[in-house]
Structure 1
Amino acid sequence: MFGSPNRGASSYAKVGLETSVVAASPHKLIVMLFDGALVAVLSGLMHMKSGNIPEKGKAISKAIQIIDNGLRASLDKKAGGQIAENLDSLYEYMSARLLAANLKNDTEIMVEIQGLLTELRETWNAIGAAPAAIPDVAPVRISNLVSA
């Protein structure tokens, strides 16, 4: 009559995630993409080690989709210049390596990508935590403005 408890919990979690996405700043959305990619890579690694090939494939495919359709697609190469170009190349590299890891069942590649994603996430978080730079401007005296 009411459905399974798992379905209810899943629906509740989905609403929570959707609310987080709507309320998040662009910076937080990128962090959420890194989190999702990391969870997918770790899940793929776990399934790889346990021999669950279908779930390994799903998890790695999800990680590739997040990297390509989320992180890579969000790059603004005009505004980001060389940094955006370098990130684009790094994201392309990670996707290719994940595909190779899936085909070869290579846990070392998975660990490599986990490390890259973790480092990028930490750097992105540090950027968000840093206050915006305030230009060094000489103080203006009110008396200078009044006499002008």
Structure 2
Amino acid sequence: MKKIHTHYDNLKVSRTAPAEVIRAAYKALSQKHHPDRNPGNSEAGRIMAIINASYEILSNEEKRREHDLWIAQQELMAAEEIVKKNSQSQTPPPPPSDSVAEAMAFGLSKEEVEYLGKPIRADRYRKKYWVFESKLSKAISLGKIRGVTCRGVLWVQDQKIA
């Protein structure tokens, strides 16, 4: 998760730091980065403006509460985004669209694939056409549909039994 840069980071204090620690950090950083102490540094003015803005927010209890609420919302949105990405990436892969390639990869020979035409595993066939195993076996034995067994798995022609 990407870390959110906050006013606490600008003053280099923890989120639970008391007001005294925030004030001490502000004083130390403002003395270090004050433009009068760094006359040749063009960044000193920009850094000092950031330090002042951060101290203005964190020294005021109401503004600090609002800032803490904003941080919580940003962290929640980042966490939800991670969950969303993870849930999208964990979807199961779609079944192979090329049944011939799948059948050949499983071990069917080129002749067996040509005999079946468009091969499909029998279990998928039964789900696709809502056919009981007994009806499928009967159709194969009557020659209404072709079937081949390979490695203990029945492959059949992908056509509806009439």
- TM bucket (normalised to shorter chain) is 0.3 to 0.5
Rg larger in structure? 2
State TM-score, norm by structure 2.
0.30
Greater share of helix: 1
| RCO comparison, higher one (Cα < 8 Å, 6+) | 1
Greater share of strand: 2
